Amino acid sequence: MNIDFWPNFPKANFQSGKMNTSPFNTMSYACPPKPWRRRKQTQNKANSNPIQTQTKPNKPNTKPNKPKRIHFFSLTYSINNVIILSLVERIEHNIAFSEQIFSPAFYAGICLIMDMQSNNNISAADHLDFEEKVSDLDRQMNELRKLSSAKGIDYSAEIRRLQREQVAELKRIYSNLTAWQTVQVARHPKRPLLNDYLNLMVKDFRELHGDRCFGDDRAIVAGFGHIGREKVLIIGQNKGRSTKEKIACNFGCANPEGYRKALLKMKFAEKFGIPIVTLIDTPGAYPGIGAEERGQAQAIAVNLAEMSRLRVPIICICIGEGGSGGALAIAVGDRLAMLEFAYYSVISPEGCAAILWRDGSQAPDAAEALKLTSRDLYKLGLVDAVIPEPLGGAHRNVHDTVYNVEMYIVRTLRDLKRAKIDNLLENRYKKLRSIGNDLVGSRRVTARAGKVRIKATHPAPAKTKPVPAKV
């Protein structure tokens, strides 16, 4: 059976000003028609006398036309009124300079840059509680821009100075985030969600629905697509951006039919040898009565057992919240990675504080005790890699974040596909069974050392010979 049913990457029809894309690909930028015109005719139509019209003979072109490359890199654009020099897009298009001057890729790049600036705009209300100084610098720069436009005075030097201060302040804050601040960044309302990754990273995405038992859960999205040059099955948890979307998908809390749907599509991918990529972003499984009646715990347990022996490479990435068994149900794989400011925990900090202290305000202390940040989990050996985020978090530069995730997936898939399937399964089993062994071993060594220290300080009393009883 031929499963290569995905069409080629959509190509733009620049003469009509439209782009032919699939309904699942939203990166369809309408581009204007060609700005260039055909070469001027050699004859002058105003002069009707052919004798007076003299045309120069065409000289033979001895030198080959060298292609000209158009690069768009190190573009300066404003995000949250902070000028950030970063790689926006690199578009290489070879064109014959003698035939045409501009490339259609030029207009596609301009449309992409405009879309980036509109998506990454952070308003004053989107600043977190610990970003007060960053918000004040934003307000000062906005006032200077208003004064510059109203009075015609150039304040560019002062604005650049404030921008440098803001970048330095962001570096200082995000290099020393606490566990509770990391949770707040992971829950930012403008943080990239599953749909952002599907639109910007996956080409020719084809969604699959239903679990063949109960229904279709919108909290979990599954489908086939291309990441780089690799055909993969993408399974992700959708939290929704607007209020209507959040209600439709239970704020990312999946029902049992969602986990059964994910397992069904995984087995379908295993049948044809297609790698699996899971994107984790959920506060936990849905705790409703209906979900418990339909076997929520059993669905999660079956996923854990079946994913551990799927005969295809599996890559799991936590892109935001990773809470409880709802995250673990699609997080069993060969590689587990996290974004730098995501969190992965057995329970949310608020839930932990409510159980231990009967007080939800103790959530910051609970977050510190849970060791839920990517830095702590990497030290404990639970996470294989930490994917870096742009300065100020993923919500300040969505495209760079998606690019980092895509590069990690491509590199990891290339490494995993080199190994034999039997070796892959054996390494996956050993990895899962070794979780916590180092921590338990260190505690045993500490306990033994403590016992030896106690024996040295408090020696046992010497045994006296028993006195024989008198007859």
Rounded to whole angstroms, how far apart are CA atoms 221 and 279?
A: 10
pLDDT for position 440: 59
Rounded to whole angstroms, how far apart are CA atoms 196 and 154?
A: 38
* Residue 140: partners with Cβ closer than 8 Å, 6 or more residues away: 162
Task: Decide the pairing of beta strands 276-282 and 230-237.
Answer: parallel
Inter-CA distances, 190 with 16, 187, 374, Å: 34, 9, 20
pLDDT for position 101: 38
Rounded to whole angstroms, how far apart are CA atoms 63 and 413?
A: 44
pLDDT for position 60: 56
pLDDT for position 287: 87
What sections of 130-178 are H helices per DSSP? 132-151, 156-174
The pLDDT tens digits of the residues spanning 208-249 come to 998 888 989 899 999 999 998 999 999 999 998 889 988 988
Rounded to whole angstroms, how far apart are CA atoms 12 and 50?
A: 43
* Residue 260: partners with Cβ closer than 8 Å, 6 or more residues away: 211, 213, 214, 299, 302
pLDDT for position 458: 54
The pLDDT tens digits of the residues spanning 57-87 come to 555 555 555 444 433 333 333 333 333 333 3
* Residue 142: partners with Cβ closer than 8 Å, 6 or more residues away: 81
Our separate counts of H helices and E strands in the chain read 16, 14
**At residue 90, does pLDDT exceed 80?**
no
**At residue 394, does pLDDT exceed 70?**
yes
Task: Decide the pairing of beta strands 335-339 and 385-387.
Answer: parallel
Asked whether 113 and 124 are in contact (CB, 8 A), the reply is no
**At residue 402, does pLDDT exceed 80?**
yes
**At residue 199, does pLDDT exceed 70?**
yes
Inter-CA distances, 277 with 175, 224, 313, 435, 451, Å: 29, 10, 9, 21, 47
Helix, coil or strand: residue 177: coil
Helix axes 349-356, 363-370, angle to 10 degrees: 110
How much is the mean pLDDT over the chain?
76
| Confidence grade of residue 154 (pLDDT, cut at 50, 70, 90) | confident
The pLDDT tens digits of the residues spanning 428-464 come to 999 988 887 766 555 554 555 555 554 555 555 555 5
Q: What is the DSSP letter of 74?
A: S
149: amino acid identity, one letter: S
Rounded to whole angstroms, how far apart are CA atoms 172 and 119?
A: 25
Give the end-to-end CA distance of the chain in Å, rounded to a whole number.
Answer: 98
**At residue 252, does pLDDT exceed 80?**
yes
Asked whether 348 and 326 are in contact (CB, 8 A), the reply is no
CA-CA-CA-CA torsion sign (234, 239, 245, 247): positive
Task: Classify burial at 71, counting beta carbons within 10 Å of its beta carbon; exposed 0-12, middle 13-18, buried 19 or more.
Answer: exposed
pLDDT for position 98: 32
**At residue 22, does pLDDT exceed 50?**
no
The pLDDT tens digits of the residues spanning 259-273 come to 999 999 999 999 999
The pLDDT tens digits of the residues spanning 258-313 come to 999 999 999 999 999 999 999 999 998 988 899 999 989 999 999 999 999 999 99
Helix axes 363-370, 179-186, angle to 10 degrees: 100
What is the per-residue DSSP string for 367-381? HHHHT-BHHHHHHHT
Nearest to 397 by CA among 89, 139, 156: 89
Q: For tokens 């992965």, what's the residue?
A: 344
367: amino acid identity, one letter: A
| Confidence grade of residue 465 (pLDDT, cut at 50, 70, 90) | low
Please tell me which residue, 135 or 464, carries the higher pLDDT value: 135
The pLDDT tens digits of the residues spanning 341-393 come to 999 999 989 889 999 998 888 999 999 999 999 999 999 889 999 999 999 89
Its pTM stands at 0.68
Rounded to whole angstroms, how far apart are CA atoms 12 and 398?
A: 24
